[in-house]
Amino acid sequence: MQFAGSHILSVSQFEREDVERIFSVADRMMPYGQRKRVTEVLNGAILGAMFFEPSTRTRVSFGSAFNLLGGEVRETTGFENSAIAKGESLYDTARVLSGYSDVIAMRHPEVGSVNEFAAASRVPVINGGDGSNEHPSQALLDLYTIRSELAASGRSIDQLRIAMVGDLRHGRTVHSLCMLLCCFKGVQVVLVSPEALRMPPEIVESLRNTGHKVVESEILEESIAHVDIVYSTRLQEERFSSLEEADLYRGRFRLNQSIYTHHCEPNTVIMHPLPRDSRAHARELDDDLNDNPNLAIFRQTDNGLLVRMALFALILDVVDQVDKHARDVNWYTGGRF
Ligand code: NCD
């Protein structure tokens, strides 16, 4: 695809070569993500960050990624602080805000809302999550993490074996990740969820049509026994009609160190898009996994910076200028990486 000036709304926009291009640009962002160097390549550019649903890492990492490329961030969070609360349409908001920004990252609770906004925007829009539909930048950072975790043992995304666990019906990260896996070959996917929270059938069908093997299960222990990656997810309680209904499924699949030791192959990588729900009645990933070296959740969040920097550099067409506008950093950066 042509990245310059494009919206990023769905992973279905990407061919395999596009995913590989994003990953190779993300690799080049490493010295900046690790604060060894800073670049001013986007000096003067403005990111409009509009998050109408709760967000910590997606919002802050989009902002930090833009800052690390030398740009500035203007943001609005929550409907209550926005003119949408006064009845303004997405069309009008998009026309206005795209006059103030060079690129926009947006999250919204309604499926399709970011597409509607993008259709009216005068600048590229990145979907930071539209309801239970898609979360393309998360899927890219997840797959980038899978690629780097597997590279350590000489494996690649082709022939990957992955178990996705939890609320697969409402989880937009797993929807986008499955669709992104359709760019690769010979993948085995085990989908572990309660019957009522299964992966949407059209996504399962896309995986099968690609030639991937898909198994659906309600039993965690046997499903995580022969996989490279266990990708756990949070119950998306905000998508249920009531908390009582969400409670029916809460805490159903919990991974802790003891289950991991007894059922997983050595070095199975544990992932989660975060936030994990650490309340006692949930705990889909127990805190006792925190010292497990295969817990990759914070490597995922670090990688999110690199992948989002890569998206901005590609969309604003500055990939080859990043290093020309760079210098070494001169402040303390120790200990983090
Ligand atoms: C996810 C999301 O918002 O879809 N979080 C994220 O962006 N990393 C997952 C979740 O909220 O459970």
> What distance lies between CA 5 and its chain's CA centroid?
21
Is 86 labeled as catalytic in the residue annotation?
yes
**What is the predicted pLDDT for the residue at 290?**
98
DSSP letter string, 237-260? GGGSS-HHHHHTTTTSS-B-HHHH
Q: Is 107 in the pocket of ligand 1 (CB under 6 A)?
A: no
Q: Are 140 and 147 in contact (CB under 8 A)?
A: no
Is 175 labeled as catalytic in the residue annotation?
no
Which residue among 172, 173, 271, 272 has the greatest number of ligand 1 atoms within 8 angstroms of its CB, and so is best to mutate? 173
Taking Cα atoms as reference points, which of 189, 144, 163, 153 lies closest to residue 309? Answer: 144
| C-alpha torsion angle, residues 96, 100, 105, 108 (rounded to 10) | -30
- Asked whether residue 334 is domain-assigned, the answer is no
Residues 188 and 209 in one domain: yes
- Asked whether residue 76 is domain-assigned, the answer is yes
Q: Are 273 and 284 in contact (CB under 8 A)?
A: no
Bond into 275 cis (ω within 30): yes
Taking Cα atoms as reference points, which of 195, 197, 192, 194 lies closest to residue 229? Answer: 192
Q: Which two tokens stand for residue 110?
A: 């309604």
Give pLDDT tens digits along the chain (337 positions): 999 999 999 999 999 999 999 999 999 999 999 999 999 999 999 999 999 999 999 999 999 999 999 999 999 888 887 788 788 999 999 999 999 999 999 999 999 999 999 999 999 999 999 999 999 999 999 999 999 999 988 999 999 999 999 999 999 999 999 999 999 999 999 999 999 999 999 999 999 999 999 999 999 999 999 999 999 999 999 999 999 999 999 999 999 999 999 999 999 999 999 999 999 999 999 999 999 999 999 999 999 999 999 999 999 999 999 999 999 998 888 777 7
Q: Is 303 in the pocket of ligand 1 (CB under 6 A)?
A: no
Residues 172 and 264 in one domain: yes
Question: Tokens 């393309």 — which residue?
Answer: 136
Name the closest-CA residue to atom 11, ligand 1: 275
Q: Are 66 and 55 in contact (CB under 8 A)?
A: no
Q: Is 300 in the pocket of ligand 1 (CB under 6 A)?
A: no
Taking Cα atoms as reference points, which of 215, 188, 187 lies closest to residue 199? Answer: 215
Q: Is 135 in the pocket of ligand 1 (CB under 6 A)?
A: yes
Taking Cα atoms as reference points, which of 245, 297, 251 lies closest to residue 274? Answer: 297
Q: Which of 7, 39, 58, 301 is catalytic?
A: 58
pTM score, whole prediction: 0.97
Q: Which DSSP symbol is given to 194?
A: -
Angle at 216 between CA 211 and CA 219, to 5 degrees: 145
Distance 239 CA to ligand 1 centre (A): 12
As a whole number of angstroms, the distance between CA 34 and CA 25 comes to 15
Give residue 271's identity as a one-letter amino acid code: M
- Asked whether residue 227 is domain-assigned, the answer is yes
**What is the predicted pLDDT for the residue at 58?**
95
Q: Are 143 and 296 in contact (CB under 8 A)?
A: no
Q: Are 220 and 232 in contact (CB under 8 A)?
A: no
Question: Tokens 């969309």 — which residue?
Answer: 315
Residues 85 and 217 in one domain: no
Residues 73 and 140 in one domain: no
Residues 147 and 256 in one domain: yes
Residues 157 and 290 in one domain: yes
Angle at 153 between CA 152 and CA 155, to 5 degrees: 105
Ligand 1 atom closest to Cα of 304? Answer: 8
Q: Which domain holds residue 28?
A: 11-134+302-328
- Asked whether residue 3 is domain-assigned, the answer is no
Q: Which two tokens stand for residue 201?
A: 């059938």
Which residue among 56, 61, 137, 138 has the greatest number of ligand 1 atoms within 8 angstroms of its CB, and so is best to mutate? 138
Ligand 1 atom closest to Cα of 274? Answer: 8
Q: Which of 28, 35, 37, 57 is catalytic?
A: 57
Name the closest-CA residue to atom 12, ligand 1: 234
Give residue 140's identity as a one-letter amino acid code: L
As a whole number of angstroms, the distance between CA 256 and CA 266 comes to 15
What pairing do the DSSP bridges indicate for beta strands 37-39 and 72-77?
A: unpaired
- Number of domains the chain is built from: 2
What is the domain-level CATH number for residue 198? 3.40.50.1370
56: Cβ contacts below 8 Å, ≥ 6 apart: 275
**What is the predicted pLDDT for the residue at 294?**
97
- Asked whether residue 5 is domain-assigned, the answer is no
Distance 53 CA to ligand 1 centre (A): 10
The HSE-up count of residue 312 (CA atoms within 13 Å, CB side) is: 35
Residues 50 and 171 in one domain: no
Q: Which two tokens stand for residue 322?
A: 């990043």
Q: Are 256 and 216 in contact (CB under 8 A)?
A: no
Residues 324 and 209 in one domain: no
**What is the predicted pLDDT for the residue at 332?**
86
Q: Is 129 in the pocket of ligand 1 (CB under 6 A)?
A: yes
Residues 145 and 293 in one domain: yes
What pairing do the DSSP bridges indicate for beta strands 213-217 and 229-232?
A: unpaired
- Asked whether residue 100 is domain-assigned, the answer is yes
Residues 103 and 235 in one domain: no
**What is the predicted pLDDT for the residue at 310?**
98
Distance 173 CA to ligand 1 centre (A): 7
Q: Is 274 in the pocket of ligand 1 (CB under 6 A)?
A: yes
Residues 294 and 276 in one domain: yes
**What is the predicted pLDDT for the residue at 92?**
95
Is 239 labeled as catalytic in the residue annotation?
no
- Asked whether residue 336 is domain-assigned, the answer is no
Residues 269 and 315 in one domain: no
- Asked whether residue 140 is domain-assigned, the answer is yes
Q: Is 58 in the pocket of ligand 1 (CB under 6 A)?
A: yes
**What is the predicted pLDDT for the residue at 87?**
87
